[in-house]
Amino acid sequence: MYSKLQKLILPLVLGMLVVTACSNKDSQNNHPLNMLRQDVGSEPPTLDLTKVEDTSSSRIMNDLFAGLLDYDQENNIIPGMASSWELSPDGKTYTFHLRHDLKFSDGSAITAKDFVYSWRRLVAPKTASPYDSYLASIVNAKQIIQNKASPKTLGVEAKDSYTFVVNLEQPNASFLKLLLLNVTYVISQKNIEKYGSSWTEPANMVTSGPYQLKEHVVNGYILAVKNPYYYDESNVSIEQVKYLPYEDKNTTIPSYKSGGLDISFQAIPVDQYAELKKQFGNQLHTVTQEALYYYDFNMKNPVFANNIKLRQALSMAVDREVLTRDVLKQGQKPLYSMSTATVDNGVYAGLQYDWASLPRDEQVRRAQLLYHAAGYSKSHPLEISLSYNTNDLHKRVALAVSAMWQDVFGDEIKVKLQNQEWKTFIQSRHKGNYEIARDGWVADYNGITSYTMLYAHNSGQNNSHYYNPKYDALLQQAILEIDPNKQVELFKQALTVPLNDYPTIPLFQYTYQQLVKPYIKNYYPDKNYLEHMQSKWMSIAK
């Protein structure tokens, strides 16, 4: 069975990358001791905090801005700009008590009114934040997001300069976890109103976090420097952070080897992993991530929207075991579900396709039957495009999956691969200008609702443009349920709906790999399963 598949995949995979020759000397002599140099994977699509939705931008926002709450390196909630908070007996009102020494990077005071402004901006339709739904449990938020009410009616208030009150429509057990997401962090109203859309320029930007923006050379680098007004400034060790947008990992690795880079970004090229592990040992960290890798069907496209048999056939034809074990080989776990088996400490494990445990030959047989029942054959082959953003991992997966489709369906399918630069790709995906597209989601917190929004109607992260009112109704019922056990069962019922509808092709649970120089101290990535990073944790050995 696999001999043909291997013939299709291996030449593509093995020939895809060329390892750049470079010196094995790991030079530390040229390291600027006041600067952390980190790869962020690509040029960030935006530096507007409220509009951030990708890992490249998010990594930078975690340094430039701060919020009510903070998190440690094991993703636990700790106090941030709010030194304390309490919840009302009915579970609907949070009261946050701000520190009295809070300032923006221009020296102006941060008060509760600034959080009111920041959150109103997040839900305002004209902002078009892909994360506006994260505040949907607040009073009037849904009406505002749907442009049926003014942002001024959002259920938040500044009782005084240091007391920020949030009123929820109903109890939300995940609400505090949502506040770890950087789009909820505080921004300066005065700064944004003064400069408009150009407020993100280095000369204009006012920040609230441990660092402030100094320089931005598009596709070159971003430089941040320590913010002297940050409330915990005395515990921020590194003076400068330089973010390097290396899309090509064959640029990252030589830079790391030659001493020009201190921390790599996420994935290590598969064909270099074993060599780098041998060369660098415990400098190479491999972490199971709370994250999904999947493909979207464009549910606006009649070819897919009206043909569930086709969607299921294409999903069943992918051999996830071969993909993770033989192609990727970095600890990724095969995925047959709409969420991971690890989220919420494993309570959703086992919620997967009923064919997941079938022998591979039987999966192929059923996929072929479904494909023919969907209307495709030698005389009527399926011609599709598979889109992905420029990245070695995404190219490798696309090559492997298209080869698997070719192996199962033969000359009854023709697949065209299309790669795009990141900024263009995410806009195409949002607008539905694709047929099948790569997608991925890193959970913002350890909770099932970090995944459920991926399939909710009108969610900014529903890139497949899938809609089933039954799912949305069950999801809302689950969110409103107070009993924890009943709530889990309702979430399971809800997720079974897209599981049976096949709007996406789940492929694997991510791992991320990072090379970290030994002189970077106080950074512990191995338990950081959400991969939320902050430069303020770290120091550089002198």
pLDDT at 350 over 70: yes
Mean pLDDT, range 393-413, rounded to an integer = 96
What pLDDT was estimated at residue 9? 52
What pLDDT was estimated at residue 101? 93
Q: Counting runs of H as helices and runs of E as strands, what totals does the chain give? A: 17, 18
What pLDDT was estimated at residue 527? 87
My answer on whether 167 and 60 are in the same domain is: yes
Of 195, 219, 254, which residue is a domain's last? 195
What pLDDT was estimated at residue 264? 93
My answer on whether 481 and 349 are in the same domain is: yes
Of 173, 195, 217, which residue is a domain's last? 195
Asked if residues 405 and 413 have their Cβ atoms less than 8 Å apart, the reply is yes
CA–CA gap between residue 480 and residue 460 (Å, rounded): 21
What pLDDT was estimated at residue 536? 98
Average pLDDT taken over every residue of the chain = 92
Asked if residues 46 and 57 have their Cβ atoms less than 8 Å apart, the reply is yes
Q: Does the residue 430 lie in any domain? A: yes
Of 195, 223, 244, which residue is a domain's last? 195
My answer on whether 471 and 345 are in the same domain is: yes
Picking from 186, 222, 25, 10, the residue whose alpha carbon sits closest to that of residue 110 is 186
My answer on whether 191 and 296 are in the same domain is: no
DSSP letter for 290, please: E
Q: What is the CATH number of the domain that holds 339?
A: 3.10.105.10
Q: Specify the range with the lowest mean pLDDT, choosing from 217-226, 366-375, 383-392, 497-506.
A: 383-392
Residue 89, domain extent:
49-195
Q: Does the residue 10 lie in any domain? A: no
Asked if residues 295 and 401 have their Cβ atoms less than 8 Å apart, the reply is yes
My answer on whether 153 and 302 are in the same domain is: no
pLDDT at 6 over 80: no
Helix axes of 2-14 and 270-280: crossing angle, nearest 10 degrees = 70
Q: Does the residue 474 lie in any domain? A: yes
Angle at 1 between CA 416 and CA 437, to 5 degrees: 25
Q: What is the CATH number of the domain that holds 57?
A: 3.90.76.10
Q: Does the residue 364 lie in any domain? A: yes
Mean pLDDT, range 417-443, rounded to an integer = 93
My answer on whether 475 and 368 are in the same domain is: yes
Element (H, E) at 215: strand 211-217
Angle at 453 between CA 449 and CA 456, to 5 degrees: 135
Q: Does the residue 265 lie in any domain? A: no
pTM of the predicted model as reported, rounded to 2 decimal places: 0.78
Q: Does the residue 350 lie in any domain? A: yes
**Tens-digit pLDDT profile for residues 447-498:** 999 999 999 998 888 999 999 999 999 999 998 888 889 999 999 999 999 9
Would strands 163-167 and 93-98 be described as parallel, antiparallel, or unpaired? antiparallel
CA–CA gap between residue 132 and residue 117 (Å, rounded): 14
Percent of the chain with pLDDT over 90: 81
My answer on whether 367 and 494 are in the same domain is: yes
Backbone angles phi, psi at 361, to 5 degrees: -60, -35
Non-local CB neighbours of 282 within 8 Å, separated by 6+ positions: none
Sign of CA dihedral 360, 294, 323, 394: positive
Q: Does the residue 331 lie in any domain? A: yes
Which of the four pLDDT bands, split at 50, 70 and 90, describes residue 2? Answer: very low
**Tens-digit pLDDT profile for residues 97-142:** 999 999 999 999 999 999 999 999 999 999 999 899 889 999 999 9
Would strands 35-39 and 240-244 be described as parallel, antiparallel, or unpaired? parallel
**Tens-digit pLDDT profile for residues 7-20:** 545 444 444 433 33
Percent of the chain with pLDDT over 70: 94
Which of the four pLDDT bands, split at 50, 70 and 90, describes residue 26? Answer: very low
**Tens-digit pLDDT profile for residues 305-328:** 999 999 999 999 999 999 999 999
Structurally, the chain folds into a number of domains equal to: 2
My answer on whether 189 and 298 are in the same domain is: no
**Tens-digit pLDDT profile for residues 177-195:** 999 999 999 999 999 999 9
Would strands 520-521 and 539-540 be described as parallel, antiparallel, or unpaired? antiparallel
Which of the four pLDDT bands, split at 50, 70 and 90, describes residue 268? Answer: confident
Coil, strand or helix at 273: helix
Residues belonging to the chain? 542
CA–CA gap between residue 166 and residue 177 (Å, rounded): 14
Q: Does the residue 539 lie in any domain? A: no
What pLDDT was estimated at residue 388? 96
**Tens-digit pLDDT profile for residues 191-235:** 999 999 999 999 999 999 999 999 999 999 999 999 999 999 999
CA–CA gap between residue 242 and residue 165 (Å, rounded): 36
Query: Which residues is 379 bridged to in the sheet?
Result: none
My answer on whether 321 and 181 are in the same domain is: no
My answer on whether 333 and 461 are in the same domain is: yes
**Tens-digit pLDDT profile for residues 43-87:** 999 999 999 988 899 999 999 999 999 999 999 999 999 999 999
What pLDDT was estimated at residue 30? 59
My answer on whether 317 and 181 are in the same domain is: no
Angle at 512 between CA 509 and CA 515, to 5 degrees: 165
What pLDDT was estimated at residue 482? 81
Non-local CB neighbours of 413 within 8 Å, separated by 6+ positions: 376, 381, 382, 383, 384, 405, 406
Coil, strand or helix at 379: coil
Would strands 284-297 and 93-98 be described as parallel, antiparallel, or unpaired? unpaired
My answer on whether 53 and 164 are in the same domain is: yes
What pLDDT was estimated at residue 456? 95
CA–CA gap between residue 222 and residue 237 (Å, rounded): 19
CA–CA gap between residue 457 and residue 54 (Å, rounded): 20
Picking from 447, 304, 312, 446, the residue whose alpha carbon sits closest to that of residue 366 is 312
